[in-house]
Amino acid sequence: MRRIEQPGPGAPERIVFAESHGLRFQMTLQAGLPLLEAIRRSFAAAGFTSGVVRIDGLALGPLAYVMPALSKTPEHAAFYSETFRPPGITRVEAGALTFGLRDDLPFFHCHGLWCEASGKRSGGHILPEEAMAAEDITLEAVGLDGAGFVGEPDPETHFKLFGPVQAPLLGATREGRFFALRVRPNVDLATALEQFCGERGIHRATIRGGVGSTIGARFEDGRVVENFATEVAITSGRVADDGQGLQAEIDVALVDFTGATASGRLSRGDNPVLMTFELVLEVG
């Protein structure tokens, strides 16, 4: 399997997780607010401080984003491009967002593909401080109660990355069984989720959110993304045993370091994580 050496030592546990309750709810974002503040207000109104959101259809203007890039130093295995600021309104075609805390302040990690006002199709990593909600919209979200995502320095990749932590119960409306997860580098994403569910007797789970990177990509239909540095959003996914053992079905949208985009279902066993992948599993 493809592998990229990271600059720091890797922890023995390659999947980090926190179990929680949660709630699927309709999140309404208000136009004219910074995207980070709009997301924060919507989670707070539902009684949550962390969770995940699907951002398909979101209109942004202004928008600032970066794409994956080669690293110019050995300090990182890959890095970020210059900042792009397309004029006008940019409309997200597919994307996922993880909301939590970094430096004790609200923060999000968000990847997607979008169409700029010029008609150019692009994608990447949205910068929380420089994106504005341009239109009101209602989005699918999951709030976590008893767990959350917190950005902390990662010795392996030398980045500050979101990871799951246990958190006090908030007393919000709760339902079901949820897991906040982070998969570390050089682990196949589908295999990791299958093993995680198998070890806990979980026969069916839905992937909510899903933001990270893979070492290129291999799709079920045979398409290949050779460029190793990508930014990936899960567009839909599940882990289920339909009589042939647990199998993960993971549909993604991604952009690589050349700006090329791709979408489709990832091949099981052939898509190792590059830097990180965080997501929520809803059991059942």
The verdict on pTM exceeding 0.95 is yes
pLDDT above 80 for 242: yes
pLDDT single digits (tens) 131-171: 999 999 999 999 999 999 999 999 999 999 999 999 998 87
DSSP for 107-141 reads EEEEEEEEE-TTS-EEEEEE-GGG-BB-S-EEEEE
DSSP string, 188-255: BHHHHHHHHHHHTT--EEEEEEEEEEEEEEEBTTS-EEEEEEEEEEEEEEEEEESSSSEEEEEEEEEE
Determine the average pLDDT of the residues in 235-249: 96
How much is the pLDDT for 105?
98
Please report which confidence band the pLDDT of residue 1 belongs to, taking 50, 70 and 90 as the band edges: confident
| Per-residue pLDDT at 192 exceeds 90 | yes
- d(CA 98, CA 58) in angstroms, rounded, equals 15
Average pLDDT over residues 252-274: 97
Q: Which fold has domain 22-143?
A: 60s Ribosomal Protein L30; Chain: A; (3.30.1330)
Asked if 111 and 231 touch (Cβ cutoff 8 Å), the reply is yes
What integer is the mean pLDDT of 19-28? 96
Mean pLDDT of the residues in the chain = 97
CATH class of 15-20+173-283: alpha beta
List pLDDT tens digits, range 244-256: 999 999 999 999 9
pLDDT in tens, 104-129: 999 999 999 999 999 999 999 999 99
Locate 96 and state its tokens.
Answer: 């996922």
Ranges of CATH 3.30.1330.80 domains, the chain: 15-20+173-283, 22-143
Mean pLDDT, rounded, for 177-206: 98
The mean per-residue pLDDT over the stretch 56-71 comes to: 98
